[in-house]
Amino acid sequence: MIQKVSHIGIAVKNLQDAIAVYQKLGLEVEGIETVESQKVRVAFLPVGKEVRIELLEPTSEDSPIAKFIEKKGQGIHHIALATDNIENELKLAEEQELSPLDKVPRQGAHHASIGFLHPRAMKGVLLELCQEKDG
């Protein structure tokens, strides 16, 4: 079952620069980690207790985030919804023809299991489904 908005992913060219901007709003960095498989460095900034802003900086030119920025510029890259059963959610998405990019969950940042649904199915939004480690 979909439970809440988990985070909003924002593609940025420079992580330190982006962090500095969001800190001006009073948000604080909870952690920074590199996700090798996605070629991104990610900073998490909690907004309240449940939602995070996830700033995504490409670590190489062939990173999906680098390609996104090249095409569309910096900005919202994806919205992530939390689920309590990622396997089931992806199976359901497949049945409903929601163009899941992942048939089985993969490892995302923050030890979460994640899967993406293609923007062409989701009205222009790249949608991430994620199951947090303890959720």
Residues that bind Zn ion (CB under 5 A): 9, 80, 128
* Smallest distance, Zn ion to C-beta of residue 45, A: 13
* Smallest distance, Zn ion to C-beta of residue 128, A: 5
| Residue 87: CB atoms within 10 Å | 14
User: Hey, what are 72's tokens?
Assistant: 């569309």
* Smallest distance, Zn ion to C-beta of residue 101, A: 13
Tell me the C-alpha distance between 88 and 74, whole Å: 32
**Largest Cα–Cα distance in the chain?**
44
Tell me the C-alpha distance between 71 and 85, whole Å: 33
* Smallest distance, Zn ion to C-beta of residue 78, A: 6
User: Hey, what are 42's tokens?
Assistant: 């990610």
Which residue number, 9 or 100, has a Cβ lying nearer to Zn ion?
A: 9
